[in-house]
């Protein structure tokens, strides 16, 4: 048997992706700013190995993994041999390429239930779809041990017999940043968590965001294809590297389409093909269109427009209306883990972004921007 260490697409949300930590045993663990959600193993069966059921083979290879977790992965079609899903009675052959995606095991961790209002868009026995408000942290962490989405979910689910409060991520399979608003899906049981995790891993979910960016985009649509990794000059930031140049950077692809040009800003739709930390924010900056009021990446100052006091006051008022990066997870689609039905959800723009866009729309109406002095 040979275990190998591979880079994979993390189970994340588009805006603030989960970084991955690879260990030397061929296991990949997908982390968020965040924390662990799923682990991935890639195994090559040795030459001369005898025929044996894959569940028994994996139990022997992965001694730290229980037979029950392996069976759950097989039931969810999350065990692949040579790229194809197999059942637990499949017999491995020499040189078979085996991949398995597992829900990460619970740890000794307690999430305090808190009675915090949740905007639940949809809920059944398997999943919850939440429309997260801006300013809400998704899960507890340094500096944010209370008041998070997971604290609210712990309260909402505390009477559910399948709920495990010791699971540090409950049913999270992706996340969005504190100051990004919009849709998240949460799994309510282990089977749903495994199924949804596989979909994010295989990039079969639908995730579209609305963003207001600085500058007027000339092209109606386009694609940004560039690896994303930590900025060596500032570890709090991420930046784009030429594909393949930085071994620690991860491949990232964002498709964008112009919705409306509003003078010195543009409203765009971003569709994620991958999900990397700050992916939309980093890719938009890379092409010269930083998100409006994105403090971390320099969008909280005037980057386009005139030098007049009136314009400066207008932009300040815009910053006050939407005191965060103007980014909203608008569309989320996935296959239901039990029924197999594709489900799609839409979330209207929150009031702060809606007011911001209306203000720019009013400002730009009938104005000749070519005559204005541009910074």
What CATH number does the domain containing 31 carry? 3.10.290.10
Q: Note whether residue 45 is domain-resident.
A: yes
Task: Locate 72 and state its tokens.
Answer: 């759950």
Q: Same domain for 190 and 231?
A: no
HSE toward the beta carbon, residue 195, CA cutoff 13 A: 21
HSE toward the beta carbon, residue 280, CA cutoff 13 A: 31
The three-class DSSP label of residue 142 is coil
Q: Same domain for 71 and 136?
A: no
Q: Same domain for 197 and 217?
A: no
Q: Same domain for 9 and 64?
A: yes
Q: Note whether residue 159 is domain-resident.
A: yes
pLDDT of residue 25: 31
How far, CA to CA in Å, does 150 sit from each of 12, 115, 183?
Answer: 16, 11, 14
What CATH number does the domain containing 286 carry? 3.30.2350.10
Nearest to 97 by CA among 136, 43, 51: 43
Q: Same domain for 142 and 192?
A: yes
Contact yes or no for 101/62 (Cβ under 8 A)? no
Q: Same domain for 164 and 262?
A: no
Mean pLDDT by 10 residues, the chain (375 residues): 36 33 33 43 83 88 76 86 89 90 58 92 96 90 76 89 66 89 93 91 93 96 95 87 86 96 97 90 98 97 94 97 98 96 97 98 79 50
The three-class DSSP label of residue 102 is strand
Q: Note whether residue 366 is domain-resident.
A: yes
Q: Is 77 left (phi over 0), alpha (psi -120 to 50) or beta?
A: left
Q: Same domain for 256 and 149?
A: no
Task: Locate 111 and state its tokens.
Answer: 């999430």
Q: Note whether residue 109 is domain-resident.
A: no
pLDDT of residue 141: 66
Q: Note whether residue 110 is domain-resident.
A: no
Q: Same domain for 346 and 213?
A: yes
Q: Which domain holds residue 309?
A: 206-371
| 177 carries an active-site annotation | yes
Q: Same domain for 173 and 249?
A: no
Distance CA 205, CA 13 (A): 10
Q: Note whether residue 111 is domain-resident.
A: no
The rounded Cα 39 to chain-centroid distance in angstroms is 16
Q: Note whether residue 60 is domain-resident.
A: yes
Write out the E strands in 170-264. 181-187, 206-214, 221-225, 227-231, 234-241, 253-262
**Domain end among 176, 201, 226:** 201
pLDDT of residue 181: 97
Distance CA 147, CA 124 (A): 24
In the set 13, 55, 167, 177, the catalytic residue is 177
**Domain end among 177, 201, 225:** 201
Q: Same domain for 359 and 210?
A: yes
Q: Same domain for 81 and 183?
A: no
Distance CA 8, CA 20 (A): 8
Q: Same domain for 131 and 236?
A: no
Distance CA 84, CA 97 (A): 10
Q: Note whether residue 115 is domain-resident.
A: no
If one counts the domains in the chain, the total is: 3
pLDDT of residue 276: 87
pLDDT of residue 92: 93
The number of helices, as runs of H, and strands, as runs of E, in the chain is 7, 20
Nearest to 177 by CA among 274, 281, 269, 104: 281
**Domain end among 70, 103, 136:** 103
């Amino acid at each position: 048997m040979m275990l190998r260490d591979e880079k994979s697409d993390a189970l994340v949300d588009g805006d603030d992706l989960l970084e991955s930590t690879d260990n030397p045993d061929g296991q990949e663990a997908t982390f968020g700013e965040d924390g662990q959600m799923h682990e991935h193993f890639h195994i090559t069966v040795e030459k001369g190995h005898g025929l044996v059921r894959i569940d028994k083979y994996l139990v022997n290879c992965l001694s730290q993994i229980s037979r029950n977790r392996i069976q759950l992965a097989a039931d969810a079609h999350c065990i692949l041999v040579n790229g194809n899903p197999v059942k637990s009675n499949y017999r491995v052959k020499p040189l078979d390429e085996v991949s398995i995606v597992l829900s990460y095991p619970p740890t000794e961790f307690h999430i305090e239930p808190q009675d915090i209002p949740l905007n639940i868009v949809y809920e059944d026995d398997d999943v919850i779809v939440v429309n997260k408000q801006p300013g809400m942290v998704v899960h507890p962490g340094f500096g944010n041990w209370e008041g998070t989405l997971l604290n609210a979910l712990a309260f909402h689910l505390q009477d559910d017999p399948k709920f495990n409060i010791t699971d540090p991520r409950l049913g999270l399979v992706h996340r969005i940043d504190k100051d990004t608003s919009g849709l998240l899906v949460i799994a309510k049981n282990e089977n749903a968590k495994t199924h949804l995790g596989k979909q994010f891993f295989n990039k079969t979910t639908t995730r579209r965001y609305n963003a207001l960016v600085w500058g007027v985009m000339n092209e109606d649509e386009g694609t940004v294809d560039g690896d994303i990794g930590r900025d060596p000059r500032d570890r709090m930031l991420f930046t784009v590297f030429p594909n393949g140049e930085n071994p620690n950077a991860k491949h990232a692809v964002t498709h964008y389409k112009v919705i409306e040009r509003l003078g010195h800003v543009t409203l765009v739709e971003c569709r994620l093909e991958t999900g990397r930390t700050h992916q939309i924010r980093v890719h938009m900056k890379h092409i010269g269109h930083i998100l409006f009021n994105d403090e971390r990446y320099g969008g909280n100052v005037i980057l386009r427009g005139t030098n007049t006091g009136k314009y400066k006051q207008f932009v300040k008022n815009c910053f006050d209306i939407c005191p965060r990066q103007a980014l909203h997870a608008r569309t989320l689609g996935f296959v239901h883990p039990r029924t197999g039905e594709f489900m799609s959800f839409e979330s209207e723009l929150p009031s702060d972004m809606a007011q911001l866009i209306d203000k720019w729309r009013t400002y730009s109406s009938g104005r000749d921007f070519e005559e204005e002095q541009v910074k």
